[in-house]
Structures are given as structure tokens and as C-alpha cells.
């Protein structure tokens, strides 16, 4: 957590509750990559297991891996899903890209 700094950004999910975000601080330059991770500090009752765990976007300055495979970000800039050769959404794809808002 020493490289993460709380970001004032907050969002709300009707299922999970309020999300808080963190910036990644680059120690050499003291600059920050904005909102690279998020957490639910007080999630809804049905999602209590998420409390205080961090989730990271597999994009920007971060490289995220599942086993030895580098994951890519879910299409769009709203959802935080990771795509791999085994997690792709199939023929229909994943929600988040153009034309998927109404799914």
C-alpha cells in the first residue's frame, strides 16, 4: 500500500455500494497514475466478502497476469474486467464495448 494514494474519485454500484479509488505513485518522480485500483470499504450486505480488497485495472502502467498470460482490459472504460484466452465473453463479447450498454 505504500505506493498507493487515495484518490477522491468515488462511484456507486447498485449491487456492491460505494467504491473508493487509489492512484499509483511512482516513487522516483512522485507522479501518479490515476485511479488504477478500487475497493469497496463498506459493501452491501450480500457482498461483504469484498470489503477492503483491492481490484486493479489491467491497463495503463499496470501489467496484470493470470498464471503466465498477460490479461487485457475489458472493452470500454466503465467495467474492470480482465480478458484472457479463456475469459473473452465468447462470440457476443463482454459488456462495455460499443453497443453493449443495454445488455
Q: Where are the domains of the chain?
A: 1-56, 58-96
| pTM of the entire predicted model | 0.82
List the grid coordinates of 78.
466503465
Render each residue's pLDDT in the chain as its tens digit; 103 residues.
789 999 999 999 999 999 999 999 999 998 999 999 999 999 999 999 999 999 999 988 899 999 999 999 988 877 888 999 998 777 677 777 777 767 6
pLDDT confidence of residue 12: 94
- Apex CA 10: angle with CA 79 and CA 103, to 5°? 30
Other Cβ atoms within 10 Å of 19 Cβ, number: 19
pLDDT confidence of residue 1: 75
pLDDT confidence of residue 35: 94
3-state secondary structure labels for all residues of the chain: CCCEEEEEEEEEECCCEEEEEEEEEECCCCEEEEEEEEEECCCCHHHHHHECCCEECCCCCCCCEECCEECEECCCCCCCCEECCCCCCCCCCCECECCCCCC
pLDDT confidence of residue 103: 67
Per DSSP, what are the bridge partners of residue 31? 26
CATH topology of domain 1-56: 2.170.150
Amino acid at each position: 500500500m505504500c505506493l498507493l494514494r487515495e484518490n477522491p474519485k468515488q462511484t456507486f454500484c447498485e449491487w456492491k455500494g460505494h467504491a473508493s479509488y487509489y492512484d499509483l505513485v511512482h516513487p522516483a518522480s512522485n507522479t501518479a497514475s490515476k485511479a488504477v485500483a478500487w475497493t469497496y470499504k463498506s459493501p452491501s450486505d450480500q457482498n461483504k466478502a469484498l470489503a477492503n480488497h483491492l481490484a486493479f485495472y489491467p491497463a495503463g502502467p499496470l501489467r496484470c497476469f493470470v498464471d503466465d498470460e498477460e490479461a487485457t482490459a475489458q472493452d470500454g472504460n466503465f467495467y474492470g474486467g480482465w480478458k484472457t484466452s479463456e475469459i473473452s465473453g465468447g462470440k457476443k463479447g463482454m459488456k462495455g464495448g460499443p453497443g453493449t450498454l443495454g445488455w
